[in-house]
Structure 1
Amino acid sequence: MQYRDLYKEEISGAYLFYGKEKLLIDNTVEYISKKYIDKGMETFNLAFFEGKNLTEDKLISSCETLPIMNDKRLIFVKDASSFSDDLSKEFYNFLDNIGDFCILIFLDSDNNLNKVKSFYKYFSKRKRNVEFSKLNNREIFNFVEGYINRKGLKISKTDLSYLVSKSSYNSRNIDMTLYDLKNELDKLISLSKDNVIKKSTIDGSVTENADSNIFSFLDALSGKDTETALIEYKNLHLLNEPTQRILFMFIRQVRNLISYKELKKAVYKDAEIMTEIGIKQYEYSKISKAANNFDLKFLYNFYKELLTVDETIKTSSVVDDVLLEMLIVEFTKHKKVG
C-alpha cells in the first residue's frame, strides 16, 4: 500500500507504518488523527502505546473498547519492532477480526523491523504494510518548492534545481532525511530577503557537503585510483574538512575491509556480515568489491601504520599532509599477493 492512499481512502483495521522518512510518518499520523478523531474527543478515542512494555492482552482490550461520541477509535503502537517478537496465533487472528470502528497502526519509525519475520509478513501479505521511503527526484522538487511556498517565499525553477542538488538529499552515499532537509530549508528561509530565495543566499546557507567528497575519496582508495584519491584529498582540504576526520574515515575503511575478509573466511552470510560490521547494503556492496583488491596481511600491517599516524596527529600540533599523501599512494599502489 502506498502512503498516499491513506489520504484518499477510508481506513479501518490494522496497519504497519515503517521506512526511512520519519517526517512523512509523523505527518501522516497527524493527518489520520485529525481526520478520524473529533476535536476535544482525543482523550477518549486516541491512544498511544510504547511497544517495549505492551502486552497482547492490553492492546486487545484497548482495541475492543468502543469509541465515545465518535465513529472511530484510533490506536498507535510506537517502536513496533519491540512488540512484534513471539506474538501468538490468537493475536494474529484478532488482527484479522478487528471491529470496523477501530484503527490500529504499528509504527516502526526507526526502521528496525525484521522483514523476514512473521509480523512484517502478516501485513505484507494483506497489503497493509505502508513504507515511507525516500522521495524520488520529482517528489523532492515538489516537497522543497511546496515547503518554501507555504512559508510565503518564492524560488525560481533554476534556483530550486540548484538547491535540491546542493542539499545532497538524492545522494546514495549520504543518509539525509526530510527532517535534515527541512532544517536546511528553515535556515535558508531565515536568511532570505524580499521573500525570494536566490542562488547567492543558497550558497551562503547550504554548505558544500563534504560527505560526498569523503565517499569519492574512499571509492578512489578502494579502487586503487591514486590520482583521483590525491585530488579528492585536496578537495576535502579546500572544503575545510579536518584532517583528523579524513584519517578517521580512512582507518574505518581499512578496518571494514579487514572485518569483511575475516568474516567471509569464517563463512558468514552477507546479511550477518553487514550486521557485524554495522554498514548498510550500498556500502557493503562497495566493501565486498574492494576487498578483492587487497590481501589480509597487507591490510593488517597498513592498519597499524594508520593508527600510528593517528596517534602522532593527536599528540602533535603539526599535521603532515605529505605523510598522509604518502599513505594514500602506498595504499593505492599495493599489489595483491596471489
Structure 2
Amino acid sequence: MDYKEIYKNELSGAYLFYGIEKLLIDNACDYIVKKYINNGMEIFNLTNFEGKDLDAKDIMSACETLPVMNEKRVIFVKDVAAFSENVSDEFYDFLDNLADYVIIIFLDTNDNLNKVKKFYKYFSKRKRNVEFTQLKGRDIYKFVEGYIARKNKKIYNVDLSYLISKSSYGSRNVDISLYDLKNEIDKIIALTKTDTITREIIDSSLTENTDTNIFMFLDAMCERDTEKALIEFRNLHSLNEPIQKILFMLTRQVRLLIIYKTLSFARYRESDIMSEMGVKKYEYSKIQRFSRNFKLEFLYDFYKMILEFDEKIKTSSGEDLILFEMLIVKFTS
C-alpha cells in the first residue's frame, strides 16, 4: 500500500507502518490523529502502547473500548518487532474482525521487523503494509518546495535542484534522512533575510558533504585507481577531514573484503555473508564486485600495514599525509 493512500482514503482497521523515513511516518501519524480525533478528546480516544513486554490482551481491550464523542478510536503500537514474536492466531482473528470505529497502527520505525514471518505477511496479504521509503524524483522536490513555502520563503527551481543535490539526499552512499534534510533547510531559512533562498545562502550553509567524498575515495581505492584515489584523498584533506576517520573507513573496507572473500570461498550463503558483514544489499554488491581486484593474502598483509600505519601516525608528527599517500599507492598498485 502506497503511503499516499493514507491521505486519500478513509481508514479503519489495522495497518503496519514501516520504513526508513521516520519523518514521513511521524507526519502520517500526526495526520491520522488530527483527522480522526476531535481536538481535546485525545485523552479518551488515543492510546499509545510500547511493543516490548506488551500483552495482546491489552490491545484487544483498548480496541473494544468505544470512542467518546468521536467516530473513531486511534491506537498506536510502537516497537512492534518485539511484540510480533509472540502473536497468537487468536489475535490475528481478532484483527480481522475489528469494529469500524477502530484504527490501530503497528509501527516499525527502526526497521527491525522480520519480513519473512507471519506478522508481516498478515498485513502484506491484506495490502495493509505501508512502507515509507526514501523519496525519489519529483516527490523529493515537492517535499522541499512545500516545506520552504510553509516557512514563507521562495526558491527558484534551479536553486531547488542545487540544494537537493548538494545535500546528498538520495545518494546510495550517504545515509541522509528527511529529518536530516529538514534540519539543513531550517539552517538555510534562518540565514535567509529576504523572501527568497539563493544559491549563495545555500553555499554558506551547506558545506560539501565529506561522507560523499569518503565513499568516492574508497571506490577509487577498491578500483585500484591510484591517481583518482590520491585526488579524492587530497579533496578530503582540503575539507579538513581527520586522517583517523579516513583510516577508520579504509580499515572497515578492507575488513569487509576479507570477510566476503573468506566466507564466499567457504561457500556460505549470500544472506549469511551479508549478515556477518553487517551491510545491506547495495554495499554488499559493491564489495562483491571489488573483491575480484584483490587476493586474500594481499588483504591480510595490507590490514597489518594499516595497523602499523596507525601506530606510526600516533608517534610521528608532520608525516601523516606522506605516509597515507604511500599507503594509497601500495593498495592501488
Coarse TM-score class (shorter-chain normalised): over 0.9
SS of the residue aligned with 1:77? strand
Provide structure 1 residue ranges, at least 5 long, that are not aligned to the other structure: 334-338
1:276-324: CA deviation from partner (whole Å, max 9, x where unpaired) = 2221211111011111221221111110110111122234443421221
CA distance in 1, matches of 2:318, 2:231: 22
Q: Given the two structures, how large is their TM-score scaled by the length of structure 2?
A: 0.97
CA distance in 1, matches of 2:158, 2:265: 51
CA distance in 1, matches of 2:55, 2:117: 19
Residue number in structure 1 paired with 2:97: 97
Give how far 1:15 is off: 0.2
Residue number in structure 1 paired with 2:34: 34
Residue number in structure 2 paired with 1:115: 115
CA distance in 1, matches of 2:269, 2:51: 30
Residue identity opposite 1:136 in structure 2: K
1:65-85: CA deviation from partner (whole Å, max 9, x where unpaired) = 111221111100001111111
Residue number in structure 1 paired with 2:193: 193
CA distance in 2, matches of 1:143, 1:8: 17
SS of the residue aligned with 2:103? strand
For the pair 1:7 / 2:7, whether they are aligned, the reply is yes
SS of the residue aligned with 2:104? strand
Give how far 1:230 is off: 1.2
How large is the RMSD of aligned CA atoms in angstroms?
A: 1.2
1:167-182 matches, cutoff 5 A: 167-182=167-182
CA distance in 1, matches of 2:268, 2:101: 48
Give how far 1:266 is off: 3.5
8 Å contact 1:137–1:170 — kept in the other structure? Answer: no
Residue number in structure 1 paired with 2:51: 51
SS of the residue aligned with 2:48? strand
For the pair 1:232 / 2:232, whether they are aligned, the reply is yes
SS of the residue aligned with 2:24? helix
1:165-314 matches, cutoff 5 A: 165-314=165-314
SS of the residue aligned with 2:15? strand
CA distance in 2, matches of 1:164, 1:213: 17
CA distance in 2, matches of 1:319, 1:115: 50
1:174-223: CA deviation from partner (whole Å, max 9, x where unpaired) = 11100000010011111112122111111110110011111111111111
CA distance in 2, matches of 1:153, 1:58: 46
CA distance in 2, matches of 1:15, 1:317: 59
CA distance in 2, matches of 1:117, 1:20: 20
Residue identity opposite 2:45 in structure 1: N
SS of the residue aligned with 2:76? strand
Give how far 1:39 is off: 1.3
Residue number in structure 1 paired with 2:124: 124
8 Å contact 1:174–1:212 — kept in the other structure? Answer: yes
CA distance in 2, matches of 1:26, 1:297: 49
Residue number in structure 2 paired with 1:329: 329
Say which is worse superposed, 162-171 or 257-266, in terms of deviation.
257-266
Residues 319 and 60 of structure 1, relative CA distance in 2, 3 Å threshold:
farther
Residue number in structure 2 paired with 1:65: 65
8 Å contact 1:63–1:98 — kept in the other structure? Answer: yes
Residue number in structure 2 paired with 1:160: 160
SS of the residue aligned with 2:52? helix
CA distance in 2, matches of 1:216, 1:95: 48
Residue identity opposite 1:62 in structure 2: A
8 Å contact 1:23–1:178 — kept in the other structure? Answer: yes
* Equivalent residues, number: 333
Residue identity opposite 2:118 in structure 1: S
Provide structure 2 residue ranges, at least 5 long, that are not aligned to the other structure: none
Give how far 1:145 is off: 1.1
Give how far 1:267 is off: 3.1
Residue number in structure 2 paired with 1:336: none
CA distance in 2, matches of 1:143, 1:321: 42
8 Å contact 1:73–1:103 — kept in the other structure? Answer: yes
Residue identity opposite 1:247 in structure 2: L
CA distance in 1, matches of 2:50, 2:272: 28
Residue identity opposite 2:101 in structure 1: F
CA distance in 2, matches of 1:137, 1:206: 21
